[in-house]
Structure 1
């Protein structure tokens, strides 16, 4: 039986990091007294290790952002070189790193999305995209999906459709919701993906009608839903959304914060369906989180709205030179190491086939779905009824089966990303094939824990 290996003989000596963390840090989405964080001492490529030297294969890419792996030497060198040249400058100036990053991002964006507004991360990108759409159209409503997550700032969390928004309610006014496609748990009682697509689009059209198309500024959606299940839209769905937006003068905002920059085997996930939105929000993979960076890629038509009037928004660190230098280097790495194509190949030849083979062996796997290096297995108690392994929004004892499964993955040496009743398999795009197969073998072994809770 495998166990997480030690990075060095005997492991590293414990530091004061845990003591200081427990005394002074409030972590995201966590209760102070119940959290027991792993103290990470270092990382390289597709691995990281704790202060005791225990080494893990990173199947999570941390929060689905370390697309080129940890401590990529070219990316580190670019940040160091920029720090020696210009660490920071106010955003009303121009500088070489920010200008080049904007040009390169526009080059890989679809259609006429030629201008970039930089932010510090994905949530701020969502905030500004919604503001741009409202100002461009003169309308106030934004339609957003259930089963979505767009960030934790005030407007972004209101637009999110999952339970993380509940403590922030009532939130920003003007958000209306609709159900997106999810064939495995169809809200429309569809029998197949074609019917799911048709019924989901009909539902969206009805929602537009009853909310008043004259009042709707934007439809905001993740091109491929990320944290709420890696839900790949059926063919034709995004084209149908684009057509509805065109028919009613509605801005289409594609949230590509998680799915973009190669994660789905395309520069942007929406490229797979040859759809051009009006705005794209990005973060994470643009520079793999080595320095915080996000932004909005803007169509020519929307940019024209701010040609003669000032755009009323900004951030002290917008277009930060260190972050943008990292983006320039990262886009170069994607191109020169063919990581967009590699992500597609990983999904087609390794991740997808291996997960489907596991589904045949493990009664706890109800569904397998994904593309590129962006996959999920949905765990169930009963395949026939599709009862989830843990209830919706489970916590405490109710969530024990998933926590035990995750703990077994870690014990065996792979760091999982567990959300709800799902394991998300989202490794770095440049993970070595042998390491990926080793990580998937650990998942296969750990699934015996989940199988113990099934009725099959």
Structure 2
């Protein structure tokens, strides 16, 4: 069977039997991926595409890194699986490497299968530690597709799932470009966002609130880099009112923002950090919660009522050990920071200077968003909030034009996110920027300003 025949067979079976997430099943035509390497993927026909999505923003170390592939193979030959109740060498080493890179005072790891169940268990820990129930999260957020994590999510995917969990309440986080606080400067946005959060705490009742859960840099919701003092201000509010501060680093962590953890940009220490994705680039599913010494002590002689059959799976942990070591040895985090500063920031700002449809550029490392607009003065989004069908035609056109030129972009609502692997080279980054220049030349026809 040729690659083309194999690809046709894969597509046929997919359409017959695979039920895809977040999709109307009869309206999708999933691309068949036959292989990948580094920053590229290709289809069965041999068409190669620059992956500016890192799939779902998780292949931080790139596709098919040989050290990670070898580690999985070696672990499979040695010990494929073991129950969570046993100790295991790669699980222990993965935990050590993770806490070694976390802020000081967080020395335990509870392993999960991904980011959603990491957030579920972090909330459970916070509730049991404080004896309180309520959880506060922002409207512009995504925390996962399990019951509590979905209620914490702020985007429209929550709407059809509302009611699956209780005691979750939302507030507005900072977003200067579309400020809900009528702010005109970063300082105003910072101060007013913190004042709004404190008012929310007071009105909900400080003694009822177990946790504030924030993506350190909201990802799917728009790569909303917070003002410089915001996370420190949240930390102070949590200290003042006895609330657990949970930093969701599922997307922003492990090099994505040019630091091991995004909170490192601001020197902030949360009580709990949730992670997944980049910890082993998604080669085998893995997530977890990094736990402060104080919260870990709560469960020193009191059982933690939670667990997963595959918690700390050896294949996943072997991939994590190999990923973290390779990232350290090869300067992957440093590369992400440098490429962001030297290539993506100036390159994307240059695109914005020449294409009026790009309203704002924001990001860090290899974690960037382009806020697309119909009018720069009014900042009207290029497509309406939660647009579908004909209303979403400009973003569908962006996807098609980029793919036709050999690039796979990440789009969400009126935004295009630039989120390639942290290993991307300067040349690959510039190749992607050149393609985007062509794409936005086409897309500018939708501009009405």
| TM-score (norm. length: structure 2) | 0.99
- Given that residues 11 and 54 in structure 1 are in contact (C-alpha distance below 8 angstroms), is that contact kept between their aligned partners in structure 2? no
Which of 21, 32, 36 is matched with 2:25 structurally?
32
Deviation at 1:51, TM superposition (A): 1.3
Name the CA distance, whole Å, in 2 between partners of 1:165 and 1:52: 38
In the alignment, the residues of structure 2 paired with residue 269 and residue 206 of structure 1 have an alpha-carbon distance, to the nearest angstrom, of: 26
What is the match of residue 129 of structure 1?
A: 122
- CA-to-partner distance for each residue in 1:404-446, whole Å, 9 max, x for gaps? 0111000000000001101100111111211111011101110
Q: Secondary structure at the match of 1:202?
A: helix
Shift in Å, 1:43 = 0.4
Q: Which residue of 2 aligns with 1:441?
A: 434
**Aligned to 2:273, which of 280, 294, 313?**
280
- 1:454 alignment counterpart: 447
CA distance in 1 between counterparts of 2:44 and 2:25 reads: 21
Within the candidate set 217, 223, 226, 1:224 is matched to 217
1:251 counterpart residue number:
244
Greater than 6 Å deviation, 4+ residue runs: none
1:362 and 2:362 correspond: no
| Secondary structure of the structure 2 residue equivalent to 1:452 | helix
Residue 50 (structure 1) aligns with: 43
Secondary structure at 1:401 match in 2:
helix
SS in 2 for 1:33: helix
Deviations 1:117-141 (A, max 9, x none): 0000000000000000000000000
- 1:368 and 1:378 in contact (8 A); partners too: yes
Gaps of 5+ in 1: 1-9
Q: What residue number does 1:5 align with? A: none
User: How far apart are the structure 1 equivalents of 2:426 and 2:339?
Assistant: 8
1:261 & 1:278 partners in 2: Cα distance?
18
Specify the alignment match of 1:86 in structure 2.
79
Q: CA deviation at 1:111?
A: 1.6
Partners of 2:34 and 2:170 in 1: CA distance: 42
Query: In structure 2, what is the Cα distance between the partners aligned to 1:449 and 1:247?
Result: 52
Contact 1:17 1:39 in 2 (8 A): yes
Q: CA deviation at 1:54?
A: 1.1
Determine the structure 2 residue equivalent to 1:150. Answer: 143
> Does structure 2 retain, via aligned residues, the 8 Å contact 1:61–1:67?
yes
- Matched residue SS, 1:377: strand
Distance in 1 (CA, whole Å) between partners of 2:327 and 2:65 is: 12
TM-score (normalised: structure 1): 0.97
Superposed CA deviations along residues 335-354 of structure 1, whole A, max 9, x for unmatched, are: 00111111111111000100
Q: Which moved more, 1:12-21 or 1:359-368?
A: 12-21
Give 1:6's aligned residue.
none
Candidates 221, 230, 241, aligned match of 1:237: 230
Partner of 2:397: 404
Q: Which moved more, 1:163-172 or 1:260-269?
A: 163-172
Q: Deviations over 1:145-166 (max 9, x none)?
A: 0100000111100000110101
Alignment pair present for 1:168 and 2:161: yes
Whole-angstrom CA distance in 2 between matches of 1:388 and 1:11: 41
Deviations 1:37-91 (A, max 9, x none): 0010000111000111111000110000000110000000000000000000111
Q: Which residue of 2 aligns with 1:23?
A: 16
* 2: CA distance, partners of 1:375 / 1:449: 21
Distance in 1 (CA, whole Å) between partners of 2:331 and 2:48 is 27
Which whole-Å deviations, capped at 9, do the CAs of 1:350-402 have from their partners, x for residues lacking one? Answer: 00100000000001000000001100001100001000000000011100001
- From 93, 96, 119, give the equivalent of 2:89: 96
What stretches of structure 2 of length at least 5 have no aligned partner? none
The count of aligned residue pairs is 447
SS state at 1:40 partner: coil
Query: Would you say 1:262 and 2:255 are equivalent positions?
Result: yes
State the secondary structure of the residue aligned to 2:370.
strand
SS of 2:34's partner is: strand
Mapped to 2, the partners of 1:301 and 1:181 lie a distance apart of: 29
- Equivalent residue for 1:316, pick from 309, 312, 328: 309
Q: Quick one: distance in 2 between partners of 1:396 and 1:455?
A: 20
1 CA distance for matches of 2:388 and 2:49? 25
Deviation at 1:11, TM superposition (A): 7.3
Structure 1 Cα separation of the partners of residues 81 and 123 of structure 2: 27
The alignment yields a C-alpha RMSD, in angstroms, of 0.9
Map 1:164-203 → 2, pairs under 5 A: 164-203=157-196
Question: CA separation in 2, counterparts of 1:78 and 1:433?
Answer: 28
- State the distance in 2 between where 1:226 and 1:444 align: 23
Aligned-pair CA distance for 1:243:
0.2
Q: Residue 104 of structure 1: SS of its match in structure 2?
A: helix
SS of the residue 1:240 aligns to:
helix
